[in-house]
Structures are given as structure tokens and as C-alpha cells.
């Protein structure tokens, strides 16, 4: 049922420290700590064995995932004080500028999802406006799932559900078309970054409003210090983490 006035206002913490600097040069993210992916995927091909006709083992899949995440991390850039003072902006766009890292991303997410959910696949992948649209559809195809966009307010035609939210550097509204998810469908929400978790929380609320069964969330990058995952009540999986001491160095 359409309820354009429905809204939520999650209580979140925000990054409000101001470095006082106005420059926006990219800086290296080579210090991103690497997660230790523990994978257990038995039915997928891998460049570390299965692609040669051998079954993927947990070890071979872990090795592949570790290698993929290293290349992805090296592709990230950071811009201090963008879009506002005190924000260290994580730029994921270089991943997509290079077909090798783009391919690595989709493969890493696929492996990550399969190991995280024990081979259980979603019916629907929901991607968040706008950077979740860059890889959500590709991941959905890999998982043989549908893709549904959560968009910023005013972009989707027809009946919609609406949720307000706060994010690391602002406030906004998300919308989902009211017929986009059927009751009981298994839904995976994907986005590039979890910072405060406000955006993801709002998207999860919309999915649940439509009767979807929320399997969890997958992000490329987590800004650990903002503890966004604490806001979410479904499993959270991230490929990379960052910014443990970001602002002290900006």
C-alpha cells in the first residue's frame, strides 16, 4: 500500500570533525587494513582451481578472495574535505575505470555473498542510489536475482514508499516502488560504502515495509569508526574497511 508520508529518522552519529583544510587532493589508501575473508564456497568456479576443472575448496576460494580484495583496495582514492570540511571522501570510481578491477569487484562480491549466506541466493538485489547502481545489477545477474533500485525522492514513477534518513554528510529521502518486492522475497541490499549506516537502515526499512525478507547487507567499504553496522538488524558483510584514524591524518 502506498504511503508517501511514511518516514523514519534513525538516530545516528555523524562525523563532524573539521580538519580546517580546504584542499581536495586524492591521497593513498594503501593503509587500508585487509579483512581476513574466511570463505567456504563449494559450487563456484575460481581462478584458483575450479576454473581449471577442479572443485573450489574453502582454501582456494579464500585465496582468490584475498587476492581480489588487495587489488580493489589499491584502486581506491581518498579526498579530504569533500563534499564538506572534515569528511574524508572515499572514491570508488577508479575501480570501474579499469576493466580488470571492475571484474575483480563483481567476482569478489559474488564470492562474498555465496560464502556469507552458505550458498543461499537472494531473489532480489536492492541497490542504493547512486553508487549502488554501479555494481548491483551486475551482481544480481551473477546471482540469477532481480535488481531493484532504491532511489532518491522524486525519481520513481507510480506508487512509492518513502523513508527519510541522515547520512555522514547530509539528510535525504529514499523511495522504493510499492510493487518492486513481493511478500516473502529474499532481499540483499548492496551499496558502495557504509558510513553512519543511515542510508542502509532506511533502505532496509523500505524493504521490510513491502514484506521482503531481508537477508542482509553487502558493502564494498566500511568506515569502521562510524559503527554504522550497529544500526542495522540484519547481517552486514563488507569487502574492505577504512579510516580507523582517517581524520587525525587529514
Ligand X SMILES: Nc1ncnc2[nH]cnc12
Strand-by-strand arrangement of the 88-91 sheet: 27-28, 77-80, 88-91
CB of 185 to ligand PRP, least distance (A): 22
Q: Which residue has the cell 584514524?
A: 245
Residue pointed to by grid coordinates 575450479: 50
| Contact predicate 195/90, CB 8 Å | no
86 vs 197, beta carbon nearer ligand PRP: 197
Q: Does 75 bind ligand X (CB under 6 A)?
A: no
The strand pair at 124-128 and 213-223 is best described as unpaired
88: partner contacted, choices ligand PRP, ligand X, none (Cβ within 5-8 A by kind): ligand X
Binding at 128: pick from ligand PRP, ligand X, none (beta carbon under 5-8 Å per type): ligand PRP
87 is an interface residue for ligand X by CB under 6 A: yes
Closest to ligand X by CB, 12 vs 195, is: 195
In whole angstroms, how close is the CB of 222 to ligand PRP at the nearest point? 9
Q: What is the DSSP letter of 35?
A: P
Please say which residue, 41 or 108, places its beta carbon nearer to ligand PRP: 108
Single residue of 122, 168, 187, 222 touching ligand X by CB under 6 A: 168
Contacts of 84 (CB under 8 A, 6+ apart): 169
Amino acid at each position: 500500500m502506498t504511503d508517501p508520508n511514511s518516514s523514519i529518522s534513525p538516530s545516528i552519529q555523524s562525523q563532524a570533525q573539521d580538519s580546517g583544510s580546504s584542499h581536495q587532493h586524492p591521497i593513498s589508501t594503501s593503509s587500508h587494513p585487509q579483512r581476513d575473508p574466511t570463505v567456504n564456497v563449494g559450487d563456484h568456479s575460481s581462478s584458483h582451481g575450479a576454473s581449471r576443472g577442479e572443485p573450489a575448496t574453502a582454501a582456494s576460494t579464500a585465496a582468490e578472495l584475498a587476492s581480489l580484495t588487495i587489488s580493489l583496495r589499491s584502486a581506491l582514492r581518498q579526498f579530504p574535505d569533500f563534499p564538506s570540511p572534515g569528511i574524508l571522501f572515499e572514491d570508488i570510481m577508479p575501480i570501474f575505470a579499469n576493466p580488470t578491477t571492475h571484474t575483480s569487484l563483481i567476482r569478489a562480491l559474488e564470492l562474498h555473498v555465496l560464502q556469507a549466506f552458505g550458498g543461499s541466493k537472494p531473489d532480489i538485489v536492492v541497490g542504493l542510489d547512486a553508487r549502488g547502481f554501479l555494481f548491483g545489477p551486475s551482481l544480481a545477474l551473477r546471482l540469477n536475482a532481480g535488481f531493484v533500485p532504491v532511489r532518491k525522492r522524486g525519481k520513481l514513477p507510480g506508487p512509492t514508499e518513502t523513508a527519510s534518513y541522515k547520512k555522514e554528510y547530509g539528510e535525504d529521502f529514499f523511495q522504493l516502488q510499492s510493487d518492486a518486492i513481493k511478500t516473502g522475497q529474499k532481499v540483499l541490499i548492496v551499496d558502495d560504502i557504509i558510513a553512519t549506516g543511515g542510508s542502509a537502515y532506511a533502505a532496509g526499512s523500505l524493504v521490510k515495509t513491502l514484506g521482503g525478507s531481508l537477508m542482509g547487507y553487502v558493502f564494498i567499504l566500511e568506515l569502521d569508526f562510524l559503527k554504522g553496522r550497529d544500526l542495522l538488524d540484519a547481517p552486514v558483510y563488507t569487502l574492505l574497511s577504512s579510516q580507523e584514524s582517517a581524520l587525525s591524518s587529514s
